[in-house]
Amino acid sequence: MFTKGNLIILSGPSGTGKGTVCKKLLINNKNVFYSISATTRLPRPGERNGREYWFLSKKDFEKMIKGNKLLEWAKVYDNYYGTPLDKVNELREQGRDVLLEIDTQGALSVMKKAADGVFIFLLPPSLRELEKRIRGRGTETQEIIRKRLDAAVGEISLGTKYHYLVVNKNVTEAVNQISAIITAEHCRTDRNLGIIDKVKNEEI
């Protein structure tokens, strides 16, 4: 029986490894599609419309904001970034799961607009480990590291608003857990009421 695809939101503080987990998840789950963001920033050399981003004019983006056609959006410096609702729905109607990898602020917006979304919060195994990962990038000053860790502590409290918590101690294990969540969510009764009617009303 045909069932609509699910919207899967993967979020968590920066430094927990969302990007790495997402990439592996997409390789392992051929029915999961990555949601491509829209932006008003100019394409960089080699970037293609509809692959890295949907590149929009400022005017078009603001029209989408006014028309409530974005699942979430943010303005970073002078540019807009956001998730076009139509593109997500199109894939879901085709039975495909759509994966959204966003920061905790964006996830809060999506919670208000997509009540049937599957919200997964990716946690670092410990703050000490998170500190190591941020430090490992080698680009941050002591002050910025401290600031980002404080921000992470605040964001971790938001984890209670999500359906699932996954600890990213080991990428393979985290990906397996998220894959299991994706499979399990397809079996949830509220997403499958049609099956009961179908079997029950069969003529024999």
For 1, the 3-state DSSP assignment is: coil
**CA neighbor of 107 nearest in space, from 4, 14, 3, 28:** 14
Counting contacts by CB under 8 A, is residue 72 touching its own copies? no
CA distance 59 to 47: 21
For its own copies, the closer of residues 43 and 194 by Cβ is 194
What count of Cα atoms within 13 Å lies in the side-chain half-sphere of residue 66?
Answer: 6
Candidates 27, 43, 86, 127; binder of its own copies (CB under 8 A) is: 127
CB of 171 to its own copies, least distance (A): 15
123-135 core/surface letters (b: 16 or more CB in 10 A; e: else): bbeeeeebbeebe
Least Å distance, CB 164 to its own copies, is 4
Residue 28: helix, strand or coil by DSSP? helix
Q: Which is nearer to its own copies, 57 or 189 (CB)?
A: 189
- Interface with its own copies (CB under 8 A), residue total 41
166 burial class (0-12, 13-18, 19+ CB within 10 angstroms)? buried
Q: Does 202 bind its own copies (CB under 8 A)?
A: yes
Residue 183 touches its own copies, criterion: CB under 8 A: yes
**179 counts as binding its own copies under rule CB under 8 A:** yes
Q: Which segments are annotated as binding site for ATP?
A: 12-19
Closest CA to 9 of 123, 97, 125, 130: 97
Could you say whether residue 192 binds its own copies (CB under 8 A)?
Answer: yes
- Taking CB under 8 A as the criterion, the residue among 52, 103, 131, 140 binding its own copies is 131
- Site membership for its own copies, residue 177 (CB under 8 A): yes
Q: How far apart are CB 138 and its own copies at their closest, in Å? A: 19
Indicate the residue among 2 and 77 with the shorter CB distance to its own copies.
2
Closest CA to 89 of 113, 122, 111, 125: 113
- Binding-site ranges for its own copies (CB under 8 A): 120-121, 123-128, 131, 149, 153, 156-157, 159-160, 162-167, 176-177, 179-181, 183-189, 192-193, 195-196, 199-200, 202, 204
